[in-house]
Structure 1
Amino acid sequence: MNVSPTCLRQMRVDLSYVVVIATVFSVISPRCCLNVTRDDTQAKLNGSAVDFDSFREKFHRSYEVNSGEFHRRQLHFQNAAKRHAHLNSFPAAPQSAKYGINQFSDLSQKEFRDLYLRASADRAPLFPGLTTEGLPAKFDWRDKSVVAPVQNQEACGSCWAFSVVGAIQSVHAIGGSQLVQLSVQQVLDCSSRNEGCGGGSPAQALYWLKQTRVKLVPQSEYPYKAKRGMCHFFSQSHGGVALKNYTVNDFSGQEEAMMGQLVKHGPLVAIVDAVSWQDYLGGIIQHHCSSQHSNHAVLVVGYNAAGDVPYWIVQNSWGSTWGNEGYVYLKIGGNVCGIADSVAAVFL
Structure 2
Amino acid sequence: DFSYILLSSTGKKHDPSVPEPIRLLKFAQSLKMIDEHNQRYSKGLETYKVDLNEMSDWTEEEKERLHGYYPNLTAKVEGNMSKIIGKKLSNSVPNSIDYRKKIAALPVKNQITLGAVEMYVALKTKKPPVALSVQDVMDCSGMEKCNGRGGNEPAVFHWVAEHGVKTDKSYPYKEADSISCPRTTSGRLNYRLAGAMYLPFDDEEVLRKVLAFYGPVSVSLHASSSSFRAYRSGNWGPTWGEKGYGRIRAGVFMCANDNYLKIAFINNLTLILHQTTISAGRTLKEEKNFYRLLTNLMKAFFILHLASFLLLTYANPLNELDHDELSGKIHTLYQQHYSKYKTYLKKMGKKHDPSVPEPIRLLKFAQSLKMIDEHNQRYSKGLETYEVDLNEMSDWTEEEKGRLHGYYPDLTAKVEGNLTKIIRGNTSIPASRDYTKEIAALPVRRQGRCGSCFIFSALGALEMHVALRTKKAPIQLSVQDVMDCSGVSKCKGIGGNGPAVFRWIAKNGVKKEKDYPYKENDSSCPKKKTGREKYGLVDAVYLPPNKEGILKRVLALYGPVSVSLYSSSPSFVAYRSVAVGYGVENNTEYFIIRNSWGPTWGQKGYGRIRAGVFMCGIGRFSNVPIFK
State the TM-score, normalizing by the size of structure 1.
Answer: 0.71
Whether 1:119 aligns to 2:407 is yes
Structure 2 counterpart of 1:341: 620
Structure 2 unaligned runs (5+)? 1-330
2 CA distance for matches of 1:43 and 1:332? 44
What letter is aligned with 1:70?
Answer: E
Conserved in 2, the CA contact under 8 Å of 1:148 and 1:166? no
- The CA deviation at 1:222 is 2.0
Deviations 1:158-207 (A, max 9, x none): 11111111111211111125221122221111221323442322232223
CA distance in 1 between partners of 2:519 and 2:333 (Å):
41
User: For the structure 1 residues 177 and 235, does the alpha-carbon distance in structure 2 shift closer, same or farther, using more than 3 Å as the test?
Assistant: farther
* In 1, Cα distance between equivalents of 2:388 and 2:532: 46
- Return the match for 1:257 from 550, 553, 566: 550
Of residues 63, 75, 87, the one that matches 2:375 is 87
Q: Is the 8 A contact 2:512 2:532 kept in 1?
A: no
1:207 to 496, 503, 507: 503
Identity of aligned residues (%): 24
- Distance in 1, matches of 2:591 and 2:516, equals 31
Partner of 2:360: 72
Sort the Cα spacing of 1:242 and 1:153 in 2 relative to 1 into closer, same or farther, 3 A: farther
What is the aligned counterpart of 2:511 among 210, 213, 217? Answer: 217
- Which residue number corresponds to residue 584 of structure 2? 305
Q: Distance between the aligned counterparts of 1:195 and 1:63, measured in 2?
A: 24
Report the counterpart of residue 286 of structure 1 in structure 2. none
Please state how far the C-alpha of 1:335 moved relative to its aligned partner: 1.5
Distance 1:147 1:251 in 2: 29
Q: Larger C-alpha radius of gyration, 1 or 2?
A: 1
User: RCO higher in 1 or 2 (8 Å CA, sep ≥ 6)?
Assistant: 1
Structure 1 counterpart of 2:303:
none
In the aligned structure 2, how far is the partner of 1:53 from the partner of 1:296?
A: 28
Determine helix, strand or coil for the equivalent of 2:540: strand
Partner of 1:36: none
Distance verdict in 2 for CA 1:62–1:219, change over 3 Å: closer
In 2, distance between residues paired with 1:310 and 1:164? 25
Shift of 1:231: 2.4
Q: Assess if the C-alpha contact under 8 Å between 2:461 and 2:578 holds in 1.
A: yes
State the partner residue of 1:34. none
**Per the alignment, in what secondary structure is the counterpart of residue 305 of structure 1?**
strand
- Distance across 1 between alignment mates of 2:407 and 2:536: 23
Question: Alpha-carbon deviation of 1:228?
Answer: 2.4
Within a 5 Å distance, the mapping from 1:319-334 to structure 2 comes to 319-334=598-613
Measure the CA separation in 1 of the matches of 2:489 and 2:536. 19
Aligned to 1:188: 483
Do the aligned partners of 1:270 and 1:299 also contact (CA within 8 Å) in 2? yes
Which residues of 2 match residues 42-191 of structure 1 at below 5 A?
46-63=335-352, 69-90=357-378, 96-113=385-402, 115-123=403-411, 129-130=423-424, 133-145=427-439, 147-178=441-472, 179-191=474-486
Instruction: Choose between structure 1 and 2: higher strand proportion.
Output: 1
The offset of 1:312, in angstroms, is 1.0
1:88-119, Cα deviation, whole Å (9 max, x unpaired): 45466599211232221212334312x32222
Q: Offset of 1:235 from its aligned partner?
A: 6.1
Q: TM-score, normalised by structure 2?
A: 0.41
1:267 matched to which residue of 2? 560
| Structure 1 residues 60-97: Cα deviation after superposition (integer angstroms, max 9, x where no partner) | 45449xxx922222222222223224434546659921
> What displacement does 1:337 show?
1.1
Instruction: Give the unaligned 5+ runs of structure 1.
Output: 1-41, 281-288, 290-294
The separation in 2 between residues aligned to 1:214 and 1:131, in whole angstroms, is 33
Distance 1:322 1:238 in 2: 31
Whether the 8 Å contact between 1:105 and 1:279 is mirrored in structure 2 is no
Q: 218-227 vs 160-169, which deviates more?
A: 218-227
Looking at structure 2, the residues matched to 163 and 186 of structure 1 have their Cα atoms a distance apart, in angstroms, of: 15
Structure 1 vs Structure 2 CA RMSD: 3.3
Task: Tell me, in whole angstroms, the C-alpha distance in 2 between the residues paired with 1:314 and 1:332.
Answer: 12
Letter in structure 2 aligned against 1:244:
V
Structure-2 change in CA distance of 1:218 and 1:71 (3 Å): closer
User: Distance in 2 between the 1:306 and 1:279 partners?
Assistant: 22
Please identify, of 221-230 and 333-342, the stretch whose mean Cα deviation from structure 2 is larger: 221-230
State the distance in 2 between where 1:264 and 1:197 align.
Answer: 36
* Code of the aligned partner of 2:503: Y
